[in-house]
Amino acid sequence: MRDDQPAVAAYDLVKRFGDTVAVDGVSFSQPRGSVLGLLGPNGAGKTTTVRMLATLTTPTSGTGTVAGHDIVTGGEGVRRSMGLTGQAATVDELLTGRENIWLIGSLYGLDRQTVARKSDELLERFSLSDAGNRVVKTYSGGMRRRLDLAVSLIAAPPVLFLDEPTTGLDPRSRVELWEVLRDLVREGTTLLLTTQYLEEADQLADNIVVIDKGRIIAEGTPLQLKEQAGAASVVLTVSHAEDLPEAERLLRECSPEVHVDVGARQLTGQADGLADMTRVAARFDESRIVLDDIGLQRPSLDDVFLHLTGHRAEVEDPETEEEAS
Amino acid sequence: MTALDHARTGSDATERPRRSSLLGQSLVIVRRNLIHIKRMPEMLLDVTIQPVMFVLLFAFVFGGAIGTAAPGGYREWLLPGIMAQTIAFSSFIVAVGLTSDLEKGIVDRLRSLPISRAAVLVGRSLSSLIHSSIGIVVMSVTGLAVGWRIRGGVADAVLAYGLLVLFGFTMIWFGILVGSAMRSVEAVNGLMFTTMFPITFVANTFAPTEAMPRWLQVVAEWNPISSLVQATRELWGNVPPAGPDAAFPLQHPVLMTVVWSVVLTAAIAPLAIRTFVRRTEG
């Protein structure tokens, strides 16, 4: 791989399943030693994109490269250069942590001594030394993800694909895993991670590609995206649904744009920061409207989505990732 | 960089994974599957307690009511039938194992490695064959305990075991087909129970076909299982060779077992591979 070559690149990748277009012309290019976040809701085509790049599924059209190897014509080279972890590939529950590393290491063709030495190193590094001889079934979610990563690192691949690496993890395990990933990047590994969480992309990614219904709808640095998504917002929940029209009128006095969710008895308005929210809170305090809740919401993936597409992120495609794979 | 660091980097450079063979890779996967059995010995129930229970049920419950031409009595006649059933159920073992690995993403992880993509299936097939062979050993010992004997020559006896293994390979392809097509282990269980029991029962496995209605008798005689059972019975000297009035497959059971195995494999294997590829590539 030459230095100026991208570590991972996609060129107009398309994947169709029957009539459904899961990925519809995705292109991006990622320099070495950087982190690309593929951000989007369930069913957006993130996993399918990763599966194509990892040569688990063949693109309907278009292609890509991983460490300079073409994913359509150079599958073997791609598989030698990358590790895959997360949703699309997982660890063996009936094996111990050490055996999981042994399994993948042996398949890479590493000899027994090397596998043994490297498993010690990897288990140590991911704080799994004590659990190394325990069956994975007994591991917590965070331990599993760490083992999953350890397994992917046995052959020290220059590129690592992480498919929703922290989905289902508690906040502490999530932060711990982020730390581990940052270490990897410092050592020169290129990461491509998919996530549903803007915060995660924000924390880790140098560049974010937002994808919805198989298409790229935005890309840029985390900062650029957040600016696009607009300022923070104030969210109110009224206690009685009949107060909604009055509440909307009140909120409009403070915010030119108001979004009303009748089902949730919730109103969302613009707010630049805490001062704005306090102003809204004071205005409602003077009124007879009873509130269940009021809070400041920083831009979330949902807001980025609402802003970019006009629909909410949790609206799932009929074809979910699960069915598509 | 210290000398130690340097030495380590140097050794790392020579540790670039060497290319391993398909067999080597398959054996690693076999070993992983055998660790599964070690962790969950109850996986072996299907080739231990279950067939032993069948032997006991048929030998002692139904045995008295079923008349056979075997000189050694019903139990001796029954044992090759149970062995054939056990080997036919190797398809079940493959299917359950494969579906479970597909469901859990293990197959994807293996496919993301720089190994032969056939290694997943070859490893799964070999370990299932080992699994079923345990059943054949258990059945042979159980048989000896209830009165079954090998009365033929050594070569014939070995040939009989060889035919069981050959037919096992065919059934493994069927298992790969079912395992690739089904979305859950539960679905595999459902499908296999409703197909494998009739297939192994509508044959000469547990009762002579003569007592069946004529049409069913024809089905049973041409059932590949019947050829296998007849072949092993004759080779082990449990029954005399079928007379000239017997159906063709029973008159030439060894030949027909080989023919059935080859024909079925030729028909099922391409379909199984296509289904597996479509399932995993999707």
Q: What is the pLDDT of residue B153?
A: 92
pLDDT over threshold 90, residue A199: no
What is the percent of chain B where pLDDT is above 90? Answer: 65
Nearest residue to A137 via CA among A174, A177, A100: A100
Q: What is the pLDDT of residue B2?
A: 39
pLDDT class of A7 with cuts at 50, 70, 90 = very high
- Please report whether residue A325 resides in a domain: no
Question: Which of B19, B20, B106 shows the shortest C-beta gap to A90?
Answer: B106
pLDDT over threshold 70, residue B6: no
pLDDT over threshold 90, residue B268: yes
Average pLDDT over residues A166-189: 88
**Does residue A88 contact residue A54 with C-beta atoms inside 8 Å?**
yes
Measured CB to CB, residues of chain A less than 8 Å from chain B are 17, 51, 54-58, 76, 79-80, 82-84, 87-95, 99, 103-104, 106-110, 114, 135, 151, 155-156, 324-325
Q: What is the pLDDT of residue B214?
A: 93
Q: What is the pLDDT of residue B11?
A: 38
* Residue of higher predicted confidence among B234 and B72: B234
Same domain, A30 and A162: yes
Same domain, A287 and A138: no
pTM for the predicted model, two decimal places: 0.80
Say whether B20 and A155 touch across the interface (CB within 8 A). Answer: no
**Does residue B188 contact residue B99 with C-beta atoms inside 8 Å?**
yes
In angstroms, the CA A260 to CA A263 distance is: 9
In angstroms, the CA A208 to CA A305 distance is: 13
- Please report whether residue A63 resides in a domain: yes
Which H helix or E strand runs over A83?
strand A82-86
**Does residue B62 contact residue B153 with C-beta atoms inside 8 Å?**
no
Q: How many helices (H) and strands (E) would you count in chain B? A: 13, 0
Q: What is the pLDDT of residue A157?
A: 93
Question: Which of B20, B32, B108 shows the shortest C-beta gap to A92?
Answer: B32
Interface test with B, best of A48, A66, A103, A112 (most B CBs within 10 A): A103
Same domain, A98 and A186: yes
Least confident of A155-164, A302-311, B70-79, B194-203: A302-311
Q: What is the pLDDT of residue A314?
A: 52
pLDDT over threshold 50, residue A321: no
- CATH code of A277's domain: 3.30.70.100
Average pLDDT over residues B184-198: 91
Which ipTM value was assigned to this complex?
0.83
What is the percent of chain B where pLDDT is above 70? Answer: 93
Instruction: Please give the full DSSP string across A42-72, using - where no structure is assigned.
Output: TTSSHHHHHHHHTTSS--SEEEEEETTEETT
* Cβ count near A27 (within 10 Å): 14
HEC string of A133-181? CCEHHHCCHHHHHHHHHHHHCCCCCCEEEEECCCCCCCHHHHHHHHHHH
Same domain, A12 and A141: yes
pLDDT over threshold 60, residue A323: no
Which residues have a Cβ under 8 Å from the Cβ of A40 and sit 6 or more positions away? A46, A194, A196, A210, A211, A212, A313
- Please report whether residue A100 resides in a domain: yes
Quickly tell me which residue has 């990614």 as its tokens: A205
Question: Strand, coil or helix: what is A33?
Answer: coil
Q: What is the pLDDT of residue A147?
A: 93
- Please report whether residue A1 resides in a domain: no
Average pLDDT over residues B147-159: 93
**Does residue A13 contact residue A290 with C-beta atoms inside 8 Å?**
no
pLDDT class of A61 with cuts at 50, 70, 90 = very high
Q: What is the pLDDT of residue A25?
A: 94
Partnered with residue A30 across adjacent β-strands are: A8
Q: Does B195 touch chain A (CB under 8 A)?
A: no
- Number of structural domains (chain A) is 2
Same domain, A37 and A143: yes
Question: Strand, coil or helix: what is A299?
Answer: coil
Q: What is the pLDDT of residue A231?
A: 66
Nearest residue to A58 via CA among A28, A86, A91, A17: A17
Partnered with residue A216 across adjacent β-strands are: A211
Sign of the CA dihedral running A48, A53, A57, A58: positive
pLDDT class of B251 with cuts at 50, 70, 90 = very high
In angstroms, the CA B88 to CA B171 distance is: 6
Q: What is the pLDDT of residue B69?
A: 66
**Does residue A196 contact residue A169 with C-beta atoms inside 8 Å?**
no
Give the N- to C-terminal CA distance of chain B in Å, as an integer. Answer: 47
Q: What is the pLDDT of residue A324?
A: 39
Q: What is the pLDDT of residue A313?
A: 56
Same domain, A160 and A204: yes
pLDDT over threshold 50, residue A320: no
pLDDT tens by residue, A149-172: 999 999 999 999 999 988 888 888
HEC string of A230-278? CCCEEEEEECCHHHHHHHHHHHHHHCCCEEEECCCCEEEEECCCHHHHH
- Please report whether residue A287 resides in a domain: yes
Which residues have a Cβ under 8 Å from the Cβ of A296 and sit 6 or more positions away? A232, A233, A234, A235, A271, A273, A274, A277
Average pLDDT over residues B206-223: 92
Burial class (CB in 10 A: 0-12, 13-18, 19+), B152: middle
Same domain, A269 and A120: no
Which residues have a Cβ under 8 Å from the Cβ of A1 and sit 6 or more positions away? A7, A32, A67, A68, A81, A158
In angstroms, the CA B166 to CA B132 distance is: 12
Q: What is the pLDDT of residue B5?
A: 39
Average pLDDT over residues B229-252: 92
pLDDT tens by residue, B26-62: 999 999 999 999 999 998 988 889 889 988 888 888 8
Last residue of a domain, one of A227, A258, A276: A227
Same domain, A41 and A106: yes
pLDDT class of B65 with cuts at 50, 70, 90 = confident
- Please report whether residue A130 resides in a domain: yes
Last residue of a domain, one of A181, A199, A227: A227
Question: Which of B15, B28, B104 shows the shortest C-beta gap to A114?
Answer: B15
Nearest residue to B44 via CA among B169, B123, B132, B127: B132
pLDDT tens by residue, A217-231: 999 888 787 777 666
- Please report whether residue A315 resides in a domain: no
Same domain, A33 and A149: yes
Instruction: Please give the full DSSP string across B162-198, using - where no structure is assigned.
Output: HHHHHHHHHHHHHHHHHHHH-SSHHHHHHHHHHHHHH
In angstroms, the CA B17 to CA A109 distance is: 5
Average pLDDT over residues A30-38: 94
Shortest alpha-carbon distance between residue A300 and chain B (Å)? 30
Which residues have a Cβ under 8 Å from the Cβ of B5 and sit 6 or more positions away? none
Q: What is the pLDDT of residue B19?
A: 61
Q: What is the pLDDT of residue B281?
A: 83
Average pLDDT over residues A42-57: 92
> Looking at beta carbons, which residues of chain B come within 8 Å of A154?
none
In angstroms, the CA A82 to CA B15 distance is: 17
pLDDT over threshold 80, residue A310: no
pLDDT over threshold 50, residue A216: yes
Question: A282-296: string of b/e by CB count within 10 Å (b at 16+)?
Answer: eebeeeebebeebeb
Single-letter residue type at B52: V
Q: What is the pLDDT of residue A89?
A: 66
Say whether A94 and B119 touch across the interface (CB within 8 A). Answer: no
Q: What is the pLDDT of residue A205?
A: 93
- CATH code of A60's domain: 3.40.50.300
Same domain, A276 and A162: no
pLDDT over threshold 80, residue A298: no
Same domain, A167 and A245: no
Average pLDDT over residues A19-35: 94
- Please report whether residue A306 resides in a domain: no
Same domain, A69 and A86: yes
Name the residue range of residue A284's domain.
231-298
